[in-house]
Chains A and B, each alone.
Chain A
Amino acid sequence: MSATQQQFCTFFIQGLLFGVEVETVQEVIRHLEMTGVPLAPDVVAGLINLRGQIVTAIDLRRRLGVRDRLDGELPMNVVVRTGDGAVSLLVDEIGDVVEVEEEDFEEAPDTLASTSRELIRGVYKLKNELLLVLDTQRSVNISAAATAGGPGAH
């Protein structure tokens, strides 16, 4: 494996393929029951019990500003390590681990909506599709002022 290669753990949100560096992913788990947090920003879906550790779950659909999952569509948990402990990112579906080449990377196009552009570091041009690189640190960083007020999703 050459130095310019990088592995990404991929997942889908609203049909789009997203990826985060495998090193940042602690684990991927099926849907877990959540406890809602009243008064929390609405991107916070709730708290999950990850083998005794309490982890905040962030709904990436809400974070990216796309419509909510329909009733009965259960999200998956991608648990990532952040500077502030583990955080779970709720996604629609888990994809493969893919290897990408540095030369396939490109900045995110300016035409993306501003919320998405803030969270998408760039794009890898894969053979059949585009892999959007999610900035995990920014994704879990919620400016409470901007989104506070709404009740949690539960």
Chain B
Amino acid sequence: MDEFIPDFLIEGSELLDQLDRDFVEFEKNPSSKELVARIFRAIHTLKGTSGAIGLKKLEAVNHVGENILSRMRDGKLSVNAEITSALLRMIDADRQIFASLESTGQEGDLEFSDVIQSLTETLTAQDILKDDKVNEANQPEVLGGTTASNLLGEILVDQGSVDAASVISALEVQQSGDPRRVGEILVQSGTVPQKAVQDALQAQSESREDAVNSNIRVDVNLLDKVMNLVGELVLARNQILQFTSNQKDPAFLNTAQRLNLITTELQEGVMKTRMQPIGNIWNKFPRIVRDLSNAAGKSVRLEMEGSQTELDKTIIEAIKDPLTHVVRNSLDHGIETSAKREAAGKSPEGLLFLRAFHEGGQVNIEISDDGAGLDLDAIKAKAIERGIVTPQHAAAMSDREIANLIFLAGFSTVEKITNISGRGVGMDVVKTNIEKIGGTVDVTSVRGRGTTLKIKIPLTLAIIPALIVTTGAERFAIPQVSLVELVRLEGKAAETGIEMIQEASVYRLRGNLLPIIYLNRELKLGNGSKAADESINIVVLQADDRQFGLVVDEINDTEEIVVKPLGKQLKSISCFAGATIMGDGKVALILDILGLAQLASLAGESCDHSAVAAKGGSSESADQRESWLLFRVGDHGKLAVPLSMVSRLEEFDPATIEMSGSHQVVQYRGEIMPLVSVADALQLTARTTREGPMQVVVHSESGRSVGLIVDEILDIVDQHVSVNKNSGNARLLGSAVIQQHVTDLLNVPELVMSFAGEGRMA
């Protein structure tokens, strides 16, 4: 009998999956006769088959379940949560036996007497008929097909030969012990003509054949092999196409062209065989949601949209666990208990919404809940406590950035560790797993309104479009998904376009500074043979949420490449994602853009840390290396402000200064900008005798600008500054030695704030 077990396992697992869904559905919709019938049939099949191939334990477990179901179907037993839970435990028991069968071929030593016991108890608790034996004749054999659409009654109704009520009454007659088939009952009661039933039976058998003949089971290994072969074919095709460039023979060119088209179609076709609807993973969520929400005393409705969205099998496998984790998280931490929800003025039933759709060659998956949302303050506090970010940095972070901190390793804000989630290994693993397959994760959250997690993943991993570049005589492939744009600097622009900030190169791309890295330097390839007057090719890339420019010697072409993994010896080099074989048969490495950015320490925040820290307006850190703007006010010596706080330097004609209340203002870029005299603020005597335009340092924060009037702009310096906090004046951060002179450091936020305070009082 053993040879039947593998087939039984496949079929049985499908039945169990279907049962999981049906039970959850049934609990919501207990009056559905169709569902009861379907569940009954599934359990009956499980019991029957397991008995037939000698799986006694499985048979015994399912036998009790079948008894319960038959009572339900007959309306002798009404469903309640207790019964559903007992039946779900039965399914779990089935799964355990299945697992054991799969690994050992035996049913295993586990005892399920407690499951059987609890099932039997639910039976006796409701104290129904003593008869424990299912009346086999009672099974609606005429419903023999496994899917509802195959039911004779339904076909008849669809054909319009009979109304649904007659079919139901015929079924009832049959279930009360009438041995005749539904068709016979209907014909003999004169409800439908004989001919209609014959047509319907014909249709029924055809649809069964269709269902059987249109699908076959294929070993995944075989599919993988075919996929590999198609990969090879794509490479061979690419090689042939290269030959065509120096061939004139029209027949050959035609054949090559046909080969090209057929290969592309074959590739698409084979990819499709590996595609699976995301519903295959989602199917288990109703059960998870039910179990978890029951355990936590929450009421949660699960909605799913786009479950037909298809993904490559390897990707489906890879996102299974991360998705489950996210769903668990939403249930556990996101959605509140009914009482809390009502107190917050929300519907007592929480909503978990899963959505999947294709967009731009990628699959988007969104998991949203209408729960409490992320507690950004708690996240911030935790991140600071764990030393993940500095307080200054945290103060300057946007809500979105803070929300995304949850993806960092070892991050869990939940004090109470539940058995569901919150064990500290969490969202970081989700992120790592998604990124492993070339995807991205982003979280947005509104306090009190809910959280949405967006996942973007590529459709397939095996064959990807890539840009081929050359550097130091080596070719490299850059996955197209990371590519933003290409920039070519020629002539004078090539000489001066890339500017230096200390060691770091930057390029002004439409007014924004784009960090630049050189591929040959990062990969230690040597300088190549680059003449000074040659053009510069910049590949603008997206790594995480950061862009950077990669300078390469040559940009060649885009190509479909087949991704092949690197051997173990090279796995530790993070800037390569794999390798591929080019049209000429040589091997080229595929760049891992994120890894490359990390190698160049771009992805880390190092490059904007200092600016952000300064923006935070902190006077805490005593040793800061940054750029300072030096200026003079009155007879006071030199003063300095961090350059990061200066948005512009302006000159205004004193005649343009107007008054608003007791304050000086000036019209600036279509707005009224208040002016603060630094001399007044520090109670110094300004050199009023000075002629000419007024020097103004413009400081902007959250869209508002304030002009600081100074006497003279001196210089911009870049150096380490150790601040001595000596002055009792809150408007000064302290003093420091800059360019061998003692310089007072202006506390701009404080100055602006006190000005705003005065403004309110005035």
Interface of A toward B, CB cutoff 8 Å: 33-41, 44, 46-49, 52-56, 58, 84-85, 87, 140, 142, 144, 148, 151
Partner of B585, one of A44, A49, A53, A84: A49
Interface set of B (CB-CB < 8 Å, partner A): 231-232, 235, 474, 523-525, 564-570, 572-573, 575-576, 579-581, 585-589
B474 x A151 contact (CB < 8 A) = no
CA distance A35 to B576 in the complex (A): 13
Whole-angstrom distance between the Cβ of A32 and the nearest chain B Cβ: 10
B589:A37 contact, CB within 8 angstroms: yes
Inter-chain contacts of A53 with B (CB < 8 A)? 564
With A33-B586, A35-B474, A47-B579 as known contacts, state yes or no: A41 contacts B569, CB within 8 Å.
yes
Would you call B567 and A85 a contact (CB within 8 A)? Answer: yes
**Which residues does chain A contribute within 8 Å of B524, judged by CB atoms?**
38-39, 151
Q: Which residues of A contact B569 (CB under 8 A)?
A: 40-41, 44, 56, 58, 87, 140, 142, 144
- Find the A residue at minimum CB distance from B476: A38
Report whether B568 and A84 are in contact in the complex, using a CB–CB cutoff of 8 Å: yes
The answer on a CB contact under 8 Å between A44 and B570 is yes
B586 CB contact (under 8 Å) in A35, A38, A55, A58:
A35
Q: Given A52-B232, A52-B235, are A39 and B474 also a contact pair (CB < 8 Å)?
A: no
- Across-interface contacts of B576 in A (CB, < 8 A): 37
24 A-B residue pairs with Cβ-Cβ distance under 8 Å, sorted by A, are A35-B474, A35-B579, A35-B587, A35-B589, A37-B570, A37-B573, A37-B589, A39-B524, A40-B570, A41-B569, A44-B569, A46-B587, A52-B235, A52-B581, A53-B564, A54-B564, A54-B580, A54-B581, A56-B570, A58-B569, A84-B567, A87-B567, A87-B569, A151-B524
The interface residues of chain B lying within 8 Å CB-to-CB of A44 are 569-570
Q: Which residue on chain B has the smallest CB distance to residue A52? A: B232
Complex: A127 Cα to B728 Cα, angstroms: 94
Contacts A49-B587, A54-B581; is A39 near B566 (CB within 8 Å)? no
- Please give, as numbers and ranges, the residues of chain A lying within 8 Å of B573 by CB-CB distance: 37, 39-40
Distance (whole angstroms) from the CB of B188 to the closest CB of chain A: 68
**Which single residue of chain A is at the shortest CB-CB distance from B564?**
A54
Give chain B residues whose Cβ lies under 8 Å from the Cβ of A84. Answer: 567-568
Contact A35 B588 (CB under 8 A): yes
Q: A38-B589, A151-B524 are in contact. List 11 more A-B contacts (CB 8 A).
A: A34-B587, A35-B589, A38-B474, A39-B523, A40-B569, A46-B587, A49-B587, A52-B231, A54-B564, A87-B567, A87-B569
Measured between beta carbons, the chain B residues less than 8 angstroms from A144 are: 569, 572
Residues of A within 8 A of B585 (CB): 49
Docked Cα-Cα span, A26 to B81, in Å, equals: 61
Residues on A with C-beta less than 8 A from B580 are 54
Query: How far is the CB of A125 from the nearest CB of chain B, in Å?
Result: 33
| Least CB separation from B588: chain A residue | A35
What's the Cα separation between A44 and B573 when bound, in Å? Answer: 12
Most A CB within 10 A of own CB, among B232, B568, B576, B585: B568
Residues of chain B within 8 A (CB-CB) of A37 are 570, 573, 576, 589
CB neighbours (8 Å) of B588 from chain A are 35
Contacts of A52 in B (CB 8 A): 231-232, 235, 581
CA distance A67 to B523 in the complex (A): 25
Q: Name the residue among A36, A47, A53, A151 with the largest chain B CB count within 10 angstroms.
A: A47
B580, chain A: closest CB distance, angstroms? 8
CA distance A84 to B568 in the complex (A): 7
The chain B residue sitting closest to A34, CB to CB, is B587
- Enumerate the 4 nearest inter-chain pairs by beta-carbon distance, A residue then B residue, closest first: A38-B523, A56-B567, A35-B587, A84-B568
Considering the chains assembled together, what is the distance between the CA atoms of A109 and B576 in angstroms? 41
Give A49 to B236 CA distance when docked, in angstroms. 13
Q: What residues of chain B lie closer than 8 Å to A85, measured between beta carbons?
A: 567
Residues of chain A within 8 A of B586, CB atoms compared: 33, 35, 49
Q: Which residues of A contact B523 (CB under 8 A)?
A: 38-39
Considering the chains assembled together, what is the distance between the CA atoms of A35 and B564 in angstroms? 14
Query: Would you call A39 and B575 a contact (CB within 8 A)?
Result: yes
Give bound CA distance, A133 to B166, whole Å.
Answer: 84
Q: List, in ascending order, chain A residues with CB within 8 A of B568's CB.
A: 84, 140
Say how far B406's CB is from chain A's closest CB, in angstroms.
31
- Are A54 and B587 touching (Cβ within 8 A)? yes
Of A33, A36, A55, the contact of B474 (CB 8 Å cutoff): A36
- Give B570 Cβ to nearest chain A Cβ, in Å: 6
Residues of B within 8 A of A151 (CB): 524-525
Contact of B525 among A38, A40, A41, A48 (CB under 8 A): A38
**Are A54 and B235 neighbours in the complex by a CB distance under 8 Å?**
no
Q: B566–A54 contact, CB under 8 A? A: yes
Which residue of chain B lies nearest to A145 when distances are taken between CB atoms in the complex?
Answer: B572
